[in-house]
Structure 1
């Protein structure tokens, strides 16, 4: 009887240790992100034919300590523009956990185009950009992460999405999770916008 009690005690202790380990791991996650193709932002853009939007579900732990940088790099004929197309930086939230939508959109009017970024309860002022689409080319845009939720690390830069215009009337596909493929896309296409994100302690 004593042996059975001893074995039961060991198993119970191991179970509690494993459970504690899983809880600690979850609590120490920096952030998670996933694509959100059915959000109200995406629906509104489609319904009103406003342009394009890349939308994500985003959660940051320790949001009271961490900062989030979101920006769009602009490349024309393989050359990086010295200034980001648009940027957004926010952090040190009053909440320990911050979650909501983040994304990048381009609004098209008859005469002008505007790029903007947004996060949970914050947004950047829309920036006027070159009119898209250029004549004699085709465009495309896509998410750079898969359908699964992605765990993000501190001080790592992540490519979230891409908008691009071809140099001609054809456009090939690239593996957006492969850095070399992304570089080739930048060289091959006329215009490339890269949506990027980084979390850090400021």
Structure 2
């Protein structure tokens, strides 16, 4: 009987330590991001045929001590353009934890297009860009993260989304988690926009 009680006490202690470790890990994680599958913004863009929109759920711990950089790299025929398509940088919030939506959108008009970025309580001024979806090309856009919550780390650059146009009437798929595959996509396609995110101290 005493042995059974001793074993039960050890198992109980180990279980409590395990739970404590999980709790501490969650409390110290920097940030999380996931695709906003029920996004009203995305639904509105689709219903009104405004263009394309990437929308994410984003939570940042230690927001009062961190900065978030969002930007879109633009490649044409394999070459990186000198300036980012659009950028947004924000941080040192009055709140310790910031939670909300971040995203990237392209508004399509007949003669011109506009790109914009947004975060919790912040947004970038829409930037006029070249008209997207050239005649004779196939276009597509994809989230670069899976349908699950992703934990983010400090000073790491993350690819969140991709918009692309082919050089002809066909378009192949690529593994967005493989840097070599992403480079091949940039070389293969006529136009590629890469939405990226980085969190850092400042």
Interval of TM-score (by shorter of Structure 1 and Structure 2): over 0.9
CA distance in 1, matches of 2:143, 2:126: 21
For structure 1, the residue ranges without an aligned partner over 5 or more in a row are none
Q: Deviations over 1:136-166 (max 9, x none)?
A: 2111100011111111111100000000111
Q: In structure 2, how many angstroms separate the alpha carbons of the residues matched to 1:164 and 1:12? A: 54
> 1:36-75: per-residue Cα shift (whole Å, max 9, x none)?
1320110110111100001111111111111110000000
Q: Deviations over 1:77-97 (max 9, x none)?
A: 000011100000111111111
1:141 counterpart = 2:112: no
Q: What's the CA shift for 1:16?
A: 2.4
Unpaired runs of 5+ residues, structure 2, are: none
Distance (Å, rounded) in 2 between the aligned partners of 1:4 and 1:36 = 49
Offset of 1:116 from its aligned partner? 0.3
Deviates most, 132-141 or 69-78:
132-141
Query: C-alpha separation between the residues in 2 aligned to 1:37 and 1:52?
Result: 14
The alignment of Structure 1 onto Structure 2 pairs a total of residues equal to 202
Give runs of aligned pairs for residues 161-176 of structure 1, distance below 5 A.
161-176=161-176
Provide the rounded CA distance (Å) in 2 between the counterparts of 1:62 and 1:177.
27
Q: What displacement does 1:28 show?
A: 0.9
Q: Aligned equivalents of 2:178 and 2:9: distance in 1?
A: 49
User: Is the aligned partner of 1:195 residue 2:180?
Assistant: no
Equivalence for 1:53:
53
Q: Report the alpha carbon displacement of residue 185 of structure 1 after superposing the two structures with TM.
A: 0.4
